[in-house]
Structure 1
Amino acid sequence: MKGHSYSYVVLQYRHDVWIGEAMNVGVLLCCPGERFLKLKCRRGRGRIAQAYPGIDAAALTGTIRALEHRFGRIEAGWDMLSSVAKAGDIARGVLRADASSLQWAMDGGGIASSAAETMDMLYDRFVGLYDDEAPRDARTDEQVFDTVKVKLEAAQLYKRFERHVVRSEFGDVPFDHAFKNGVWHCVQGVSFDSANHERMLEKAQKLAGKMHSIASFRGSMRPYFVTGKPQRSDLLPQYGKMQALLRSSPLDPLVVDEHDSSIVVDHIAAVAH
Structure 2
Amino acid sequence: MKKGTYTYGLLQYRHSQVLGEVLNIGLLVYFPDLKVLRFIFPDKILRLRFAYPNVPEKTIKAYFKYFETRVSKLNAQPEVFADDALSESLERFIDKEFLPSDSSALQFGNYRKGLLYTPDIEVICDQLYNLYFSVFQLHETTARRIDESVLLGNYKKLLKQFSNDELGVLGNKNSFHLDYEIAPPEKSKLRFDIAWNSSSNLHLVKPISFDLQKSESIDRKAYQYYGRFIDLQDYAGKSDYIFDVILAKPKHKPLFKAYDNAIRLLQQPKFVQLIEPDKLEDYTHQTVEALLST
* TM-score (norm. length: structure 1): 0.54
Q: Is the 8 A contact 2:236 2:242 kept in 1?
A: no
Counterpart AA for 1:178: W
Equivalent residue in structure 2 for 1:229, among 249, 256, 280: 249
- Who is 1:81 aligned against? none
Displacement, 1:177? 3.6
Tell me how far apart the structure 2 counterparts of residues 152 and 255 of structure 1 sit (CA, whole Å): 21
Q: How does 1:49-88 map to 2 (within 5 A)?
A: 49-51=43-45, 60-66=67-73, 73=80, 76=83
Task: Provide the aligned length of Structure 1 versus Structure 2.
Answer: 224
Equivalent residue in structure 2 for 1:214, among 212, 227, 232: 232
- Who is 1:145 aligned against? 155
Report whether the alignment pairs 1:242 with 2:241.
Answer: no
Q: In percent, how many aligned pairs have the same letter?
A: 13
Q: Is the 8 A contact 1:27 1:39 kept in 2?
A: no
Equivalent residue in structure 2 for 1:192, among 204, 210, 220: 210
- Who is 1:255 aligned against? 274
Larger radius of gyration: 1
Q: How does 1:1-273 map to 2 (within 5 A)?
A: 11=11, 24-26=25-27, 41-43=38-40, 48-51=42-45, 60-66=67-73, 73=80, 76=83, 91=95, 105=107, 119-120=112-113, 130-132=132-134, 137=147, 140-146=150-156, 149=159, 153=163, 159=170, 161-163=175-177, 164-169=180-185, 170=187, 171-215=189-233, 216-219=235-238, 220-251=240-271, 253-261=272-280, 264=283
Tell me how far apart the structure 2 counterparts of residues 221 and 39 of structure 1 sit (CA, whole Å): 31
Rate the CA distance shift 1:147–1:197 in 2: closer, same or farther, 3 A: farther
Displacement, 1:259? 0.9
- Let me know the Cα RMSD of the aligned residues: 5.4
SS of match in other structure, 1:42? strand
Displacement, 1:187? 3.7
Segments of structure 1 that go 5 or more residues without pairing to the other structure are 1-7, 15-20, 30-37, 79-84, 109-117
Tell me how far apart the structure 1 counterparts of residues 105 and 73 of structure 2 sit (CA, whole Å): 15
* TM-score (norm. length: structure 2): 0.51
Q: 1:163-217 CA distances to partner (integer Å, 9 max, x unpaired)? A: 1422213122324141242321234443333344344445444443442453212
Rate the CA distance shift 1:149–1:28 in 2: closer, same or farther, 3 A: closer
Q: Is the 8 A contact 1:9 1:27 kept in 2?
A: yes
Displacement, 1:162? 1.1
- Who is 1:114 aligned against? none
Displacement, 1:150? 6.3
Displacement, 1:261? 3.3
- Who is 1:18 aligned against? none
Displacement, 1:144? 4.0
Q: Is the 8 A contact 2:208 2:246 kept in 1?
A: yes
Rate the CA distance shift 1:12–1:75 in 2: closer, same or farther, 3 A: farther
Displacement, 1:135? 8.4
Displacement, 1:148? 5.7
SS of match in other structure, 2:183? strand
Displacement, 1:255? 1.1
